[in-house]
Structure 1
Amino acid sequence: MRATHAVIRSPDRWLAWRTFGALLTAAALLGTPAARAEVPSIFREADLALGEQLIRQHRCSQCHAEKVGGDGSAIYRPQGRINTAGLLRGMVEQCNAALNLQLWPEEVTAVAAVLNRDHYRFKD
């Protein structure tokens, strides 16, 4: 019994439990209305997993790399002409139409939501 008590009191074990508690708190906060409020309302119901899948499936990064070089990420300019969540969604819709991807509106929104999360970080 005494050895167990000593293990629990060790600094490493205490730090592990404290870190675990902090992670649980962070996970709980991510589900709060305040955390969701940081996502533009146009993207709140977006299916991020679907957006990620569509970006891979349609090889968006490859197309962007062909247009701007490198890994294609230079195409994302948060301070450029796309400066709102609505304009971002519109740009994804423009790619959808120009490339005849035949994405449904909710799929366009899902792709735009992923781009917002990963590159633009617009908030309401």
Structure 2
Amino acid sequence: MQKSVKTLHRVTPKALRWAFASALIVGGAIWLARPAQAQGAEIFKGADLALGEKMIAEHKCVACHTSKVGGDGSAIYKPMGKFNTAGLMRGMVEMCNTNMNLGMFPEEVTAVAAVLNRDHYKFK
């Protein structure tokens, strides 16, 4: 009697990173492909600014940014060409949410981005 050989496919960390990076790229492309009118600050229309302020404090965003850029952390708000639209800035907040495993819902990410836009970026 022959023994059947079963091959178990293991997901390697490299494969997981590749899948995650691919998902981010596809997600970013979908986000950027939405209608042009959503590129301005109107994507923040109706955002809960109090919720955004709460999320920024709760997740200690300022402390993290200070550890990355030094000083009071405000240099992080001058990304030198990294992004120039409200939509891309919101995407950066989503990237922090994902990379730091913060677990924020989309409306919370939008609220945080709306506060940052109000206080620092001022995209129209």
Smaller-chain TM-score bracket: 0.5 to 0.7
Cα deviation for residue 80 of structure 1 reads 2.6
Closer, same or farther in 2 for the Cα pair 1:62/1:56, shift >3 Å? same
Corresponding residue of 1:75? 76
Residue 106 (structure 1) aligns with: 107
Residue aligning to 1:117? 118
Between Structure 1 and Structure 2, the one with more helix by share is: 1
Structure 2 residues without counterparts, runs of 5 or longer: 1-39
Does residue 87 of structure 2 align to residue 86 of structure 1?
yes
Q: Counterparts in 2 of 1:10-89, with a 5 A limit?
A: 40-77=41-78, 80-89=81-90
Q: TM-score, normalised by structure 2?
A: 0.66
Return the alpha-carbon distance in structure 2 between the equivalents of residues 78 and 47 of structure 1.
Answer: 25
Q: Distance in 2 between matches of 1:69 and 1:78?
A: 14
Tell me which stretches of 4 or more aligned residues in structure 1 moved more than 6 Å: none
Q: Return the alpha-carbon distance in structure 1 between the equivalents of residues 79 and 44 of structure 2.
A: 17
- Which structure 1 residue ranges, 5 or more long, are not aligned? 1-38
Percent identity, aligned pairs only? 68
Q: What one-letter code is carried by the residue in structure 2 that aligns with 1:45?
A: G
Conserved? CA contact 1:82–1:88, under 8 Å: yes
Aligned-partner Cα distance in 1 for 2:78–2:101: 24
The change in CA–CA distance for 1:122 and 1:78 in structure 2 (over 3 A counts) is farther
TM-score by length of 1: 0.66
Query: What is the SS of the residue equivalent to 2:46?
Result: coil
Q: Kindly indicate whether the alpha-carbon contact (under 8 Å) linking 1:89 and 1:112 is maintained by their aligned counterparts in 2.
A: yes
Letter of the 1:94 partner, please give it: M
* 2:21 corresponds to: none
Q: What root-mean-square deviation, in Å, do the aligned CA atoms of Structure 1 and Structure 2 show?
A: 1.3
User: Partners of 1:101 and 1:93 in 2: how far apart?
Assistant: 10
